[in-house]
Amino acid sequence: MELRVLRYFVAVAEELHFGRAAARLHISQPPLSRAIQRLEIEVGASLLRRSAAGVSLTPTGAVLLEEARGLLAQADGLRVRVAAAAGAATVTVGLLGDSRDPGASRLAEAYRRRHPGVEVRIRAADLTDPTCGLRAGMVDVALTRAPFDERGLTVRELRADGVGAVLRADDPLARRDRLRLADLADREWFQFPDDTDPAWRTYWNGGERRAGPVVHGVQECLQAVLWNGTVGMTPLGHDHPAEFAVIEVEDMPPSRVVVAWRGVDADPLIRSFVEIATAAYR
């Protein structure tokens, strides 16, 4: 029984849909279906019920799911412990811009407890690279925000945050309880450089073409607001100095906190990072 095939089965069992599982695994559906069929032959029992309504687990499949998760976790733990003993266990994590999110602190604490022998290297990226160097191969895993070009990457959502406009505290709009994008249509918005991921640029401009100063980092955004009255956008829940006001923009889509990595069959340290991050941000 191959670990790779067990990972395929776990994906199908968790998604309860072959198409979604194939997308999660970054493979096409036919080889996934064939792998599950071979696994059922090897086990000698049906693992999944397939119907027009979808996929469900048989009693045998439910047992295998529990056992497979445990076996895969043991295999991952073995690889990590051996690598740590050899002094070769390192993981490089990319963090986007302002990383004061308490979820990140909970994640760091939990990861240290589980993997005390692992060296974690941090690369802080500015706001012009939402993959935090992941696509360039500079990090192993990124704790960041979507949207961005996800081709060749696996992305898992951890949380969705509302978004607000950052204004000077003396701005007339700062007296409002809520805003809509139309209220900000005649204002300058901060811009990212032309070579920034198009999906990322469009999102932070509220889906429209805007004009305004080009910025690279959080402080540049805030200074553009302070000096020029530029509109900034920020996830709700972040603290800002008293000279700024953050007003919820009710028709701005939520900002999604995500963890992302390259390919499908991630290194055990990355899989553990994703698992811990999912709990820390829940």
Averaged pLDDT, 182-186 = 94
What would the mean pLDDT of 163-175 be, rounded to a whole number?
A: 95
Average of per-residue pLDDT across 162-170:
95
Q: What is the pLDDT of residue 84?
A: 63
130 and 167 both lie in a single domain: no
Find the angle CA(92)-CA(94)-CA(99) to the nearest 5 degrees.
130
Q: What is the mean pLDDT of residues 17-21?
A: 86
Q: Residue 95 in contact with residue 104, Cβ under 8 Å?
A: yes
- Cα gap 256→83, rounded to integer Å: 33
Average predicted confidence (pLDDT) for the chain: 89
Question: What digits encode the pLDDT tens for the residues 191-244?
Answer: 999 999 999 999 999 998 899 999 998 889 999 999 999 998 999 987 888 899
Same domain flag for 111 and 242 = no
Question: Cβ neighbours of residue 117 under 8 Å, at least 6 residues apart?
Answer: 81, 84, 85, 89
Does 221 lie in the same domain as 185? yes
Query: What is the Cα 58 distance to its own chain's centre?
Result: 32
Which of the four pLDDT bands, split at 50, 70 and 90, describes residue 166? very high
**138 and 212 belong to one structural domain:** no
> Are residue 275 and residue 141 in the same domain, yes or no?
yes
- State residue 73's pLDDT score: 77
The pLDDT tens digits for 65-115 are 999 888 887 777 676 666 666 565 788 999 987 667 888 889 999 998 888
pLDDT on residue 88: 59
What per-residue confidence (pLDDT) applies to 165? 96
Domain containing 39: what range?
3-83
**138 and 271 both lie in a single domain:** yes
Q: Where does residue 153 fall: left (phi above 0), alpha (psi -120 to 50 degrees), or beta otherwise?
A: beta
From 28, 56, 83, the end of a domain falls on 83
Considering the domain architecture, whether residues 11 and 58 belong to the same structural domain is answered as yes
pLDDT at 163: 96
Q: What is the CATH number of the domain that holds 145?
A: 3.40.190.10
Domain edge (last residue) among 83, 98, 127: 83
- Burial label, 91 (beta-carbon count in 10 A; 0-12, 13-18, 19+): buried
Q: Which residues pair with 157 in a beta bridge?
A: 258
What's the pLDDT tens digit per position in 28-61?
A: 889 999 999 999 999 999 999 988 777 899 999 9
Residues 98 and 113 in one domain: yes
For residues 139 and 245, membership in a common domain is answered with: no
- The three-state DSSP-derived secondary structure of 167-229 is EECCCHHHHCCEECHHHHCCCCECECCCCCCHHHHHHHCCCCCCCCCECCCHHHHHHHHHHHC
Same-domain status, 126 and 264: yes
Order across the sheet with 153-161: list the strands.
119-125, 90-96, 141-146, 255-262, 153-161
Residues 209 and 231 in one domain: yes
Average pLDDT over residues 114-124: 87
Whether residues 138 and 214 share a domain: the answer is no
Q: For residue 242, what is the domain's CATH number? A: 3.40.190.290
Q: Predicted confidence band at 118 (pLDDT cuts at 50, 70, 90)?
A: confident
Counted domains in the chain: 3
Q: Is residue 157 scored above 90 in pLDDT?
A: yes
Q: Is the pLDDT score of 130 beyond 90?
A: yes
pLDDT category, 22, cuts 50, 70, 90? Answer: confident
For residues 28 and 256, give the distance between their C-alpha atoms in angstroms, rounded to a whole number.
26
Highest mean pLDDT: which range of 63-72, 113-122, 154-163: 154-163
Boundary (domain end) residue, out of 83, 103, 122? 83
